[in-house]
Amino acid sequence: MSEFLAKYAFLIIPIIKVVILVFAVLTIDAYLTWLERKVIAHIQARWGPHRVGPHGLLQPLADGIKFILKEDPMPSGVDKIGYFLAPFLTLTLAITSLSVIPFGPDIKAFGYVTNFGIADVNVSLLVLFAITALGVYGVALAGWASNNKYSLLGGLRSSAQMISYELALTLSVVGVLLIAGDLSLKHIVEHQDNGSLGLLGWNLFGFAKDGEGFTQIIGFICFFIAAIAETNRVPFDLPEAESELVAGFHTEYASMKFAMFFIGEYTSMIAVSCLATILFFGGWLSPFPASWTLTHYLPSVILIPFGLWVIFDGIRYETIFGRILLPGVGTVLTAMGAALFLSPAANDLIQGPFWFFAKVFVFLFFYIWMRGTLPRFRYDQLMDFGWKILLPVSIANVVLTSAFLLWRMH
């Protein structure tokens, strides 16, 4: 048995990781919709979902059941291959893009050393861009195959937008590649590790350990704007502009096929946030200098008060279900915080992923915040901005960074 395990470990471990990742990503996607509705509701002085479960926490579950049970009508005259292929393509590619992302440093458990992610490819950044490049087909095909002029307009807009912003997206990353001298996301993070200066070592500030660094603030701004456009989110959501195109490319989709587009969109948001974290914000590295060991207790310091607050909030909740569920969740959170406080080994293991997901969460919140704040671009403004501002600025960033690195070398 153990011989079999040792022989096929290279196959078994990735399969386990894939199952965990897909499950985790789908759950996070579901609660991202809840978070989005809550945050936007509070921006607009509303309550948001709060009927299904305490604080609307079971709303994603209700939505999921609704998506599965709804009738799935197919409009007449659709191109069957394209119509069915499009949602699968969108969802599959979005989830696949997460496979090359390192969520933390290598894990050492039970005598095995394995990377904290599914695949550790030495050109992982290019693989990620390759998957993103294919992602446009999902939207374009959906628009074309639906036999609906609004869908077609949405699909066309999306293709044009993605082609235009992909250039700026790729060029804005070149500065980071010049600094790291490597295409592997893991090495890009490790290169930003400046033990004594903490967060100043990140590519955003550019004080790398070997002195070969240059601030990538311009690169980051270009990257993030282009990334929002690539994920079709506000203010770049022209492919599904509901005031002009009904719902754009997914007008003719219902039920689970619509949900697949939705999940795909949220998963790409997560992928892009992970990428921004890795490239510019030091990935899983702590923002504090390595000598500040007290900051290792930060996960507990956040979890315990939050858990206590959930208990305190839960015992006064209106419904009986809430009075049972919320204190239960709060107790689990507090217990987790306490366990991390008491077990240094577990605490060390959690440091990398903690900082990684904390940074990713900030970006995801930013996405939602923007949706609640900004109006949509006009189409000509979108194209002008992409080609006349974003592209030249990201090229200037490449020139500036290479010039600085060359000057440092001599």
Partner 1 sequence: MTAPVIIFFVLAALAVLASVSLILQRHPIHSALSLIVVMVALAGLYLLMGAEFVAAVQIIVYGGAVMVLFVFVIMLLNAGDEERTNFSKLATFGGIPLALALGGIIAAAIVRSSGHLPPPAASGAMSSTKQLSMLLFSEFVYPFELTSFLILVAILGAIVLAQREN
Which chain residues interact with partner 1 by CB under 8 A? 79, 81-82, 85, 121-123, 126-127, 129-131, 133-134, 136-137, 140-141, 143-144, 152, 155-156, 159-160, 162-163, 166, 183
Closest distance of CB 406 from partner 1, Å: 15
What is the secondary structure of 99-157 as a DSSP string?
Answer: GG---EEEEEETTEEEEESS---TTHHHHHHHHHHHHHHHHHHHHHHT--HHHHHHHHH
Closest distance of CB 309 from partner 1, Å: 46
Closest distance of CB 26 from partner 1, Å: 25
| Choice between 156 and 339, CB closer to partner 1 | 156
**Cβ neighbourhood burial of 126 (10 Å; 0-12, 13-18, 19+):** middle
Distance (Å, rounded) from C-alpha 96 to C-alpha 265?
13
Please give the backbone phi and psi of residue 50, each rounded to the nearest 5 degrees, phi first.
Answer: -150, 15
CA 122 distance to own-chain centroid: 21
Query: Which residues are CB-neighbours of 264 under 8 A, at least 6 positions away?
Result: 87, 90, 91, 93, 94, 138
| Choice between 77 and 375, CB closer to partner 1 | 77
| Choice between 85 and 247, CB closer to partner 1 | 85
Closest distance of CB 129 from partner 1, Å: 6
Structure tokens of 124? 């992982």
| Choice between 151 and 397, CB closer to partner 1 | 151
Closest distance of CB 141 from partner 1, Å: 8
Closest distance of CB 31 from partner 1, Å: 31
Largest CA distance in the chain: 71
Report cis status (omega within 30 of 0) of the bond before 49: no
Structure tokens of 3? 């011989």
| Choice between 79 and 190, CB closer to partner 1 | 79
| Choice between 155 and 337, CB closer to partner 1 | 155
Closest distance of CB 101 from partner 1, Å: 15
DSSP-derived 3-state class of residue 57: coil
Is 156 within 8 Å of 136 (Cβ atoms)? no
Distance (Å, rounded) from C-alpha 402 to C-alpha 410?
13
Is 128 within 8 Å of 277 (Cβ atoms)? no
Instruction: Find residue 107's DSSP bridge partners.
Output: 114
| Choice between 171 and 349, CB closer to partner 1 | 171
Closest distance of CB 80 from partner 1, Å: 11
| Choice between 29 and 230, CB closer to partner 1 | 230
